[in-house]
Amino acid sequence: MDRTWQSVATEDSAEPQTPTMILLDTNAVLFLLAGHRRARPLGPHTGRLRFTPVALLEMQFLHEVGRGVFKTARPAEAAAEDPRWTVDDPPLSGIIRHALDLTWTRDPFDRFIAAHAMYRGWRLATSDGTMLDNLPSHLVLPL
């Protein structure tokens, strides 16, 4: 699982970047891994997909509690090693700064994932209704 912690960038800057990269919510990763039709909007973004380590933890949690259907016994590892995206591992302090203001969700995974997208200034690919309703429209890619 060495690939998991290879960062795209680790500078401690909250300066927004051009939203050319797409950060994958956990459900987006699961759609891609399953070849689900809901992953089709991600096709044009090949090579620009990024994955948050928080989603790895959420996948492991879902696997442990028996929620979700996985094709492998180690879904977090399979996701981390998939060549279709790169794991982005920015400083946790930058994500936390954004997460503190996201009072519209009590789901800690959603809060960290949304904060990661905000920290980077990237669009978040998600099918999560709460995120779609609460994040600025320029920061989401609905699935």
Domain boundaries in the chain? 2-142
Which of 11-20, 84-93, 99-108 is predicted least confidently? 11-20
**pTM of the complete model:** 0.82
- Kindly state the DSSP code that residue 46 receives in the 8-state scheme: T
Q: What is the CATH number of domain 2-142?
A: 3.40.50.1010
Please give the pLDDT value at position 95: 96
136 by Cβ neighbours in 10 Å (0-12 / 13-18 / 19+) ranks as exposed
Over residues 15-56, the pLDDT tens digits come to 554 448 999 999 999 899 888 999 999 988 888 899 999 998
Residue type, 54: V
Please give the pLDDT value at position 135: 95
From the CA atom positions of the chain, what is the Rg in Å? 14
Strand order in the sheet with 49-51: 86-87, 49-51, 22-24, 123-126, 140-142
Find the farthest-apart pair of alpha carbons in the chain and give their distance in angstroms, rounded. 38
Please give the pLDDT value at position 41: 93
Residue positions counted in the chain: 143
Please give the pLDDT value at position 116: 97
**Rounded to an integer, what distance in angstroms lies between the CA atom of residue 104 and that of residue 57?**
21
